[in-house]
Amino acid sequence: MHITQGQFSFLPPLTDDEIRAQVDYAISKGWALSIEWTHDPHPRNVYWEMWGHPMFEIKDGAAIIFDLAACRKACPNAYIKINAFDNTRGVESMVMSYIVNRPDIEPGFHLIRQEAAGRMVRYTTKPYSTDFPVDTKQES
């Protein structure tokens, strides 16, 4: 299974040069950049762990590539994404987000159905990865 969250999950994995080009685009727009990682890719897991603080008023994209390398080294088997944030009034939200690292094996999700009255079904999406608990703050 291949999780397709983010801007570029349908393309071949981005090389570091390609990541740098996206980072430079965000910098040219004046956006802040951040790196986040997780072992729980549930589609509603909004808060991945932050790898350091978001970088505001960043001048050189090399800083992000450097931090990404450190994050990958510490969490090689995690999902890692790079985000860009626009603080313009009326936006004040994420404007880019793409996955730059994945575990070797992506175990996917179990769809649990709870049958209720009538034909009503209550759905729960459960990531298999959480069957093997790891410290969410620390790579196992």
Partner 1 sequence: MNTQSDARITDTKERYKGGVLKYKQMGYWRPDYEPKDTDFICLFRITPQEGVDPEEAAAAVAGESSTATWTVVWTDLLTAHEDYQAKAYRLDTVPNTGAGTDTEAQYFAYIAYDIALFEEGSIANVTASLIGNVFSFKPLKAARLEDIRIPTAYVKTFKGPPTGIIVERERLDKYGRPLLGATMKPKLGLSGKNYGRVVYEGLSGGLDFTKDDENINSQPFMHWRDRFLFCMEAVNKAQANTGEIKGHYLNITAATMEDMYERAEFARDLGSNIIMVDLVIGWTAIQSISRWSRENDMILHMHRAGHGTYTRQKNHGVSFRVIAKWLRLAGVDHLHAGTAVGKLEGDPMTVQGYYNVCRDSVTKQDLARGIFFDQDWADLNKVMPVASGGIHAGQIHQLLHLFGDDVVLQFGGGTIGHPAGIQAGAIANRVGIEAMVKARNEGKDILNEGPDILRTAAKGCKPLEQALEIWKDVSFNYTSTDTPDFVTTPTAT
CA distance 14 to 136: 25
Interface map 116-135 toward partner 1 (x if CB under 8 A) = ---xxxxx-x----------
> Is the CB of 21 or the CB of 70 nearer to partner 1?
21
To partner 1, the closest distance from the beta carbon of 27 in angstroms equals 11
Radius of gyration of the chain (CA): 17
> Is the CB of 98 or the CB of 139 nearer to partner 1?
98
What does the buried/exposed string (b/e) look like for 59-98 if buried means 16 or more CB atoms within 10 Å of the residue's CB? eebeebbebbeebbeebeebbbbbbbbbeeeeeeeeebbb
> Is the CB of 125 or the CB of 140 nearer to partner 1?
125
Decide if residue 97 touches partner 1 (CB under 8 A): yes
Decide if residue 111 touches partner 1 (CB under 8 A): yes
* 13, 16, 21, 52: residue in contact with partner 1 (rule CB under 8 A): 21
CA distance 78 to 26: 24
C-beta of residue 29 within 8 angstroms of C-beta of residue 117: no
Decide if residue 15 touches partner 1 (CB under 8 A): no
Decide if residue 47 touches partner 1 (CB under 8 A): no
